[in-house]
Amino acid sequence: MASVELSQVYVPVANYCVQMMNSLNEFRKHNILCEVVIVVNGKQFFAHRNVLAASSPYFREMFSSNMREHLENKPVILENITAEIMEELLNFIYTGSIKITPFNVKDFVSASNYLLMTNLKETCISFMKAMLNPSNCLGIEAAAFKFNCTALRSTASQYVYDNFVAVSQTDEFKLLSADRLAEYLGSDDIRVEREEQVFECLMQWINNDIEVRRGFFKILSQHVRFPLMSPYYLADHVETEEIVLSSPECTSLILEAKNYHMLPDRRHLIKGSRTKPRRSMGVISVIFAAGGIQGSTVMRDTFGFFPAANRWSPLAHMIIARCRHGLAVTGDMVYAVGGQSREGAAQSSLNSVERYDPRTNTWTMVAPMNMRRSLLNVAVLDGNMYAVGGCDESNFRLNSVERYHPATNTWSFTAPMTTCRSSPCVLTCRVLYVIGGVSYVGMSLNTGEYLDPMTNTWRAIAPMHYKRASASGAATNGKIYIIGGWDGSVHLNSGEVYDPDIDQWSLIEPASTARWDAGIAVESDKIFIVGGCDRNALCTLETECYDPEKDKWSKVASLPVATHGIKCCTIQLPHKFA
């Protein structure tokens, strides 16, 4: 048998490196061939220069050539590390193993941060993430911030947000600083089922040291969203707290919350985060669009636009197909009023009204108006809904106004306008305004009027710069915005803003395209204009957003279908329907 000639063979020896490091560790323990003396709290530790340098960039820099001469034969003194932790660190450096417990992990993070031992620091971070619970998450978050552990801090913070109510019952929560508590109370991300729980968490923190913490109540209570509480809870629990009654600032917030419940049509006047549900409460603010015309078909479809996600989603169909109708919110319910059931057919004008409940994503019929009305608009004032103008089934333009009382489900006539108007803008800005539209003789109008609540009569306001019919109107921050429309000869992309305090109109930045017969709604002080027809009378699915503060337009996600004669409003929709 021929022999096989082997030139060379590489054979790894099992556990050689482990055995070598174990031997070096024994050398360390018995001060054999050690060149370095480390002193921690007066206790000496012996070690090998090369092993330390290979394990820690801190030691590598210390033992580099430019420092070697300075440190020759001198002990290395380390601060901010205990002797017990140093012994464990040296064992880790020589063996790669370490015993981490909930009691020493923060000390190891501190030491590894100091000695730039990234591998140990990451091991400790993984351990701390795994041990997170309501009782320790605040302490871990604080340690992560102190030692610049960004990922750990993010994980710990999210744990606090997700378990806020349970965390509020712990000893660590009682020791939380006022500034940090304010951050949590002001966040949309704390997970609570009801805003009442936020108030209870605040009171637990205050009552833990009420004499010292009383002074923080004024600031911290600003982060509690009282309007989102049950009015019964406000009366039975909030207003009975001595610290609330003794705080003028807090009693002002309670009054705001009461007005929010008693005057739902004025809720848009309460600005800021206090009326915005937290994300965990299961609702989201949505632009709600209903009805309209696609091609020649009048639609029952409704859609919700989610500004944060920049997307549209379908919602429950209306019972009756309708376009050029009215749409408004009162008492958290949406009402679709009148309109046409067939495109361009006056005889198809409707007096029917249906109500949408966002909580169940369902429609029900309610009492009809006294008259059929298409090309109308509606708005809510003092909890009642006003259906204004429009055309009847004979295509006559109307100056009559009907008022709907949700509590009694009844309609009644109120003072008629001075001018017959179809396709006007109807909105409330402290009082009821009707602006633009088409006159009795078919002319586009630039005039406007408001209903004087003292005399129950209509009074004229300053005319707009342009005549506008089928324009889109919205109110925000005490101003009225009218956008687009038809002036009798061309379709407009211009817009203007009205200041009721000085009875004056000013032009704003034009939209990117002319638009009429479009929907409009306000969300977070921004104005969204939806669908409609362009300057060539072509139906569009584009949606644009106007920022009044910046006087700028931007495009957002388009409607699923090109639609005109559509109407919009803003609602709070449960996440399950999103």
Q: How far is CA 444 from the centre of its chain?
A: 40
Nearest partner of 466 among 444, 449, 481, judged by Cα: 444
Nearest partner of 522 among 474, 556, 573, 472, judged by Cα: 474
Cα distance between residue 222 and residue 272, in whole Å: 11
Question: What would the two tokens of residue 562 be?
Answer: 């090109």
Written as one letter, the residue type at 203 is M
Instruction: Report the largest interatomic distance among the alpha carbons of the chain, rounded to a whole angstrom.
Output: 123
Q: Is 186 exposed, middle or buried (0-12, 13-18, 19+ CB in 10 A)?
A: middle
Beta-bridge mates of residue 432: 428, 451
Nearest partner of 511 among 494, 528, 535, judged by Cα: 494
Residues sharing a CB contact under 8 Å with residue 184, sequence separation 6 or more, in sequence order: 160, 161, 164, 190
Other Cβ atoms closer than 10 A to 99: 9
For residue 464, the SS3 value is coil
Given this model, what pLDDT does residue 336 score?
98
Ramachandran bin of 234, using left for φ above 0, alpha for ψ from -120 to 50, beta for the remaining angles: alpha
**pLDDT, tens digit (0-9, with 9 covering 90-100), for 49-82:** 888 988 888 888 888 766 554 456 688 888 888 8
Angle at 461 between CA 459 and CA 464, to 5 degrees: 145
Long-range contacts: 534-538, Cβ < 8 Å, 24+?
Answer: 534/491, 535/490, 535/491, 535/493, 537/491
Cα dist. 362→264, 267, 328, 342 in Å? Answer: 21, 23, 16, 23
Given this model, what pLDDT does residue 84 score?
92
Per the listing, tokens 């638009």 go with 515
Residue 115: enclosing H or E segment and its boundaries? Answer: helix 105-115
Pure H helices in 482-576: none
- Output DSSP code: residue 5: P
Residue 49: enclosing H or E segment and its boundaries? Answer: helix 49-55
Query: Is residue 565 within 8 Å of residue 517, measured between CB atoms?
Result: yes
In the chain, the domains with their CATH numbers are 16-157 (3.30.710.10), 187-279 (1.25.40.420), 282-577 (2.120.10.80)
Angle (deg, nearest 10), helices 118-130 and 137-146:
160
Q: Is 530 exposed, middle or buried (0-12, 13-18, 19+ CB in 10 A)?
A: buried
Question: What would the two tokens of residue 106 be?
Answer: 């923060």
Cα distance between residue 277 and residue 454, in whole Å: 36
Query: Is residue 277 within 8 Å of residue 546, measured between CB atoms?
Result: no
Query: Is residue 375 within 8 Å of residue 324, measured between CB atoms?
Result: yes
Cα dist. 171→101, 174, 175, 427 in Å? Answer: 20, 5, 7, 52
Query: Is residue 468 within 8 Å of residue 519, measured between CB atoms?
Result: no
Cα distance between residue 367 and residue 411, in whole Å: 8
Cα distance between residue 145 and residue 154, in whole Å: 9
DSSP states of 115-126:
HT-HHHHHHHHH
Cα dist. 138→169, 172, 396 in Å? Answer: 12, 6, 69
Query: Is residue 468 within 8 Å of residue 485, measured between CB atoms?
Result: yes
Given this model, what pLDDT does residue 69 score?
46
**pLDDT, tens digit (0-9, with 9 covering 90-100), for 276-305:** 888 888 788 899 999 999 988 999 999 999
Cα distance between residue 178 and residue 519, in whole Å: 45
Give me the average pLDDT of each 10-residue run along the chain (578 residues).
Answer: 62 75 82 88 89 88 66 79 91 88 91 90 91 94 91 93 95 95 94 92 95 94 93 92 93 91 72 80 90 94 94 96 96 94 78 93 96 97 94 95 95 97 96 97 96 93 98 95 96 97 97 96 95 93 96 96 96 84
Cα distance between residue 506 and residue 496, in whole Å: 5
Angle at 546 between CA 543 and CA 552, to 5 degrees: 120
Cα dist. 43→27, 38, 108, 109, 112 in Å? Answer: 18, 8, 18, 21, 19
Cα distance between residue 441 and residue 231, in whole Å: 50
Given this model, what pLDDT does residue 276 score?
83
Cα distance between residue 517 and residue 577, in whole Å: 28
Residues sharing a CB contact under 8 Å with residue 197, sequence separation 6 or more, in sequence order: 165
Given this model, what pLDDT does residue 271 score?
65
